[in-house]
């Protein structure tokens, strides 16, 4: 049975009802001598009784003790009981006498958690209070759930430590029903084809099914002993930890695509948390882990098709507009070259579209090969291409123009058909727009085409062709 903690804005006093038991844990300061060794349990005649108020006799108090439904204990930092107010037989039919260890009959899974909460209380300011639930072993060996409240009363000179109140939290039938529900949930989770894990705010799996461990490339036991981030790629650890912490404090849902693991798997991590339960404590985060390798590959293929030209493999106009927008937003100083193939229409007219497509594909490959780092080539439609560069000097712009012409002129299929290139190159300006930048580059290209055609119809091919 999983348990949850609740931090409260406690007051220095403790509200202990007649159906409660109270435990006080006294702090030992660094200069305070350690308590004398407690006598063996069998030598202790019985639980000590707190000082009696003037209006009640010690006999009356002793007679009322068996009717207590809650225990109150005082415990030192070594977690040994130094005072106990409880029924003589104890709430669990195991009298917890002075000198015994308060953790001695707790379920192992709950003892560490209760120890951590108590240690936190010793470091907190007086008035700190927390509530939790823990399982206590009964005389027959079974475990029953108990509600436990811990108060920091180091401000009280008499107590000078922690007061721990405990009471049985549910009937056996309720506990059995809760346990059965938990078992059914765990069995259901283990049968799921996806990974499931319940995470603490620090990312420690409180529960994980075998599929989660398999997908994450680890074993179930080490996964639950560490943190989820420990088995992830280093590039994912920080963002996953931050997302878990965020969802533990505020309901929501986040979906993260993880970096490929050693087997090349692409995993999707879906993290979610619900509305606060009213306990005031941090929320648990539910994680589902799915293998999306095939789906991611299909998605990448569809995205590539949407943003690339199927004939040349170059990016298309849609991608170019987004690219220019992002680069302009970043403030990059762009250089855009607009290229139109001269006399390409005659290739389609004389030899057909198959021959024309072969020329376009070859030109696309030639342009890709002439690029420098950071430059991209795009087919914007028909026989028109665009090359985007940035940060070029005037000499760099001239070099880009020459590289483009030479790339076309050295393509055998283009040269055989006397296909040349007209190129217009422009720079971006402040507050530019992608379409406006392309229009200026297009206008520069047509201006260069008209000048070239007036001089020599074959100049765009012959000028760039190597000897």
Tell me, letter by letter, the H, E, C secondary structure of 333-353.
CEEEEEEEEECHHHHHHHHCH
DSSP secondary-structure letter at 104?
A: T
Give the distance between the most distant pair of CA atoms in the chain.
124
Position 4 confidence tier, pLDDT thresholds 50, 70, 90:
very low
Q: How far apart are CA 91 and CA 71, in angstroms?
A: 7
Over 60: is that where the pLDDT of 174 sits? no
Confidence at residue 160, expressed as pLDDT on a 0 to 100 scale: 75
Judge contact between 106 and 166, C-beta under 8 A.
no
Average pLDDT over residues 137-159: 81
Tell me what percent of the chain is helix, strand and coil, each rounded to the nearest 5: 40, 25, 35
Judge contact between 161 and 154, C-beta under 8 A.
yes
Lowest mean pLDDT among 121-125, 223-227, 321-325: 121-125
Residues carrying CATH 3.30.450.20, the chain: 6-172, 192-295
Q: Which of 15-19, 82-86, 201-205 has the highest mean pLDDT?
A: 201-205
Position 94 confidence tier, pLDDT thresholds 50, 70, 90:
low
Give the closest residue to 367 by CA, choosing from 306, 411, 431.
411
- Tell me the CA distances in angstroms from 385 to 268, 379, 408, 440, one per residue in order: 38, 4, 11, 14
Over 60: is that where the pLDDT of 421 sits? yes
Bridge-based pairing of strands 21-26 and 71-75 is parallel
Over 70: is that where the pLDDT of 41 sits? no
Lowest mean pLDDT among 48-52, 98-102, 104-108, 332-336: 48-52
Return the number of other C-beta atoms located less than 10 Å from residue 95's C-beta.
17
Lowest mean pLDDT among 181-195, 200-214, 431-445: 181-195
Over 80: is that where the pLDDT of 179 sits? no
Position 192 confidence tier, pLDDT thresholds 50, 70, 90:
low
Over 60: is that where the pLDDT of 124 sits? yes
Lowest mean pLDDT among 45-59, 110-124, 218-232: 45-59
Average pLDDT over residues 91-104: 58
The three-state secondary structure class of 282 is coil
Average pLDDT over residues 10-39: 41
Tokens representing 137? 């072993």
Element counts in the chain: helices (H) and strands (E)? 14, 16
CATH code for the domain defined by 308-462 = 3.30.70.270
Q: Considering the entire predicted model, what is its pTM?
A: 0.45
Query: Mean pLDDT score of the chain, rounded to an integer?
Result: 77
Position 10 confidence tier, pLDDT thresholds 50, 70, 90:
very low
Position 441 confidence tier, pLDDT thresholds 50, 70, 90:
very high
Q: How far apart are CA 50 and CA 139, in angstroms?
A: 26
- Those residues whose C-beta lies under 8 Å from the C-beta of residue 22, and which sit 6 or more positions away, are 14, 16, 70, 71, 72, 73, 85, 163, 164, 165
Q: How far apart are CA 122 and CA 124, in angstroms?
A: 6
Q: Which of 3-12, 27-36, 148-157, 198-207 has the highest mean pLDDT?
A: 198-207
Confidence at residue 144, expressed as pLDDT on a 0 to 100 scale: 82
Tokens representing 158? 């008499």
Positive or negative, the CA dihedral 104, 105, 106, 108 is positive
Over 90: is that where the pLDDT of 142 sits? no
Judge contact between 113 and 204, C-beta under 8 A.
no
Position 73 confidence tier, pLDDT thresholds 50, 70, 90:
confident
Convert the pLDDT of each residue in 284-339 to its tens digit.
898 999 888 887 778 778 888 888 899 999 999 999 999 999 999 999 999 999 99
Residues carrying CATH 3.30.70.270, the chain: 308-462
Q: How far apart are CA 361 and CA 384, in angstroms?
A: 12
- Those residues whose C-beta lies under 8 Å from the C-beta of residue 94, and which sit 6 or more positions away, are 105, 137, 138, 139
Confidence at residue 184, expressed as pLDDT on a 0 to 100 scale: 54
Count of residues for the chain?
Answer: 467
Name the superfamily (CATH) of residues 6-172. PAS domain (3.30.450.20)
Convert the pLDDT of each residue in 334-355 to its tens digit.
999 999 999 999 898 899 989 9
Greater model confidence, 298 or 281: 298
Position 181 confidence tier, pLDDT thresholds 50, 70, 90:
very low
- Tell me the CA distances in angstroms from 185 to 189, 275, 323, 361, one per residue in order: 6, 20, 49, 58
Lowest mean pLDDT among 85-94, 149-158, 249-258, 398-407: 85-94
DSSP secondary-structure letter at 65?
A: G
Tokens representing 200? 């603490």
Average pLDDT over residues 92-102: 56
Give the closest residue to 32 by CA, choosing from 72, 77, 68, 79.
77
Judge contact between 314 and 41, C-beta under 8 A.
no
Convert the pLDDT of each residue in 253-275 to its tens digit.
999 988 766 666 788 999 998 76
CATH code for the domain defined by 192-295 = 3.30.450.20
Position 283 confidence tier, pLDDT thresholds 50, 70, 90:
confident
Q: Which of 11-15, 123-127, 288-292, 325-329 has the highest mean pLDDT?
A: 325-329
Confidence at residue 305, expressed as pLDDT on a 0 to 100 scale: 83
Consecutive H or E run containing 179: helix 172-191
Judge contact between 147 and 131, C-beta under 8 A.
yes
């Amino acid at each position: 049975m999983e348990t949850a903690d609740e931090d409260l804005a406690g007051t220095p006093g403790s509200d202990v009802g007649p159906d409660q038991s109270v435990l006080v844990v006294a702090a030992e300061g660094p200069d305070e001598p350690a308590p004398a060794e407690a006598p063996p349990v069998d030598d202790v005649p019985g639980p000590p009784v707190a000082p009696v108020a003037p209006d009640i006799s010690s006999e009356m108090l002793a007679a009322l003790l068996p009717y207590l439904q809650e225990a109150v204990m005082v415990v030192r930092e070594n977690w040994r009981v130094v005072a106990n107010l409880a029924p003589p037989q104890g709430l669990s039919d195991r009298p917890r006498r002075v000198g015994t260890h308060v953790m001695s009959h707790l379920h192992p899974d709950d003892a560490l958690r209760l120890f951590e909460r108590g240690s936190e209380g010793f470091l907190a300011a007086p008035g700190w209070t927390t509530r939790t639930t823990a399982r206590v072993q009964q005389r027959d060996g079974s475990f029953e759930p108990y509600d436990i409240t811990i108060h920091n009363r180091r401000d009280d000179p008499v107590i000078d430590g922690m007061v721990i109140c405990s009471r049985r939290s549910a009937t056996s039938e309720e506990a059995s029903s809760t346990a059965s529900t938990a078992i059914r949930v765990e069995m259901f989770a283990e049968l799921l084809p996806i990974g499931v894990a319940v995470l603490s705010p620090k990312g420690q799996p409180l529960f994980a099914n075998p599929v989660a461990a398999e997908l994450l490339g680890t074993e179930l036991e080490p996964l639950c002993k560490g943190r989820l981030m420990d088995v992830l790629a280093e590039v994912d650890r920080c963002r996953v930890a931050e997302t878990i912490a965020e969802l533990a404090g505020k309901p929501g849902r986040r979906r993260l695509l993880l970096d490929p693991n050693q087997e090349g798997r692409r995993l999707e991590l879906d993290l979610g948390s619900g509305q606060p339960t009213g306990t005031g404590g941090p929320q648990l985060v539910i994680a589902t882990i799915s293998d999306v390798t095939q789906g991611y590959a299909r998605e990448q293929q569809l995205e590539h098709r949407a943003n690339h030209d199927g004939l040349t493999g170059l990016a298309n106009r849609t991608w170019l507009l987004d690219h220019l927008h992002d680069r302009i937003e970043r403030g990059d100083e762009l250089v855009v070259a607009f290229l139109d193939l001269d006399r390409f229409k005659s290739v389609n007219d004389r030899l057909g579209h198959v021959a024309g497509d072969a020329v376009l594909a070859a030109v696309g490959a030639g342009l890709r090969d002439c690029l420098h780092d950071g430059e991209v080539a795009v087919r914007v439609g028909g026989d028109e291409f665009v090359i985007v560069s940035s940060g070029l000097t005037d000499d760099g712009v001239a070099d880009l123009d020459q590289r483009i012409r030479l790339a076309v002129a050295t393509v055998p299929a283009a040269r055989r058909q006397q296909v040349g290139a007209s190129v217009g190159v422009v720079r971006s300006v402040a507050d530019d727009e992608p379409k406006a930048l392309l229009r200026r580059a297009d206008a520069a290209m047509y201006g260069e085409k008209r000048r070239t055609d007036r001089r020599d119809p074959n100049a765009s091919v012959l000028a760039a062709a190597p000897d």
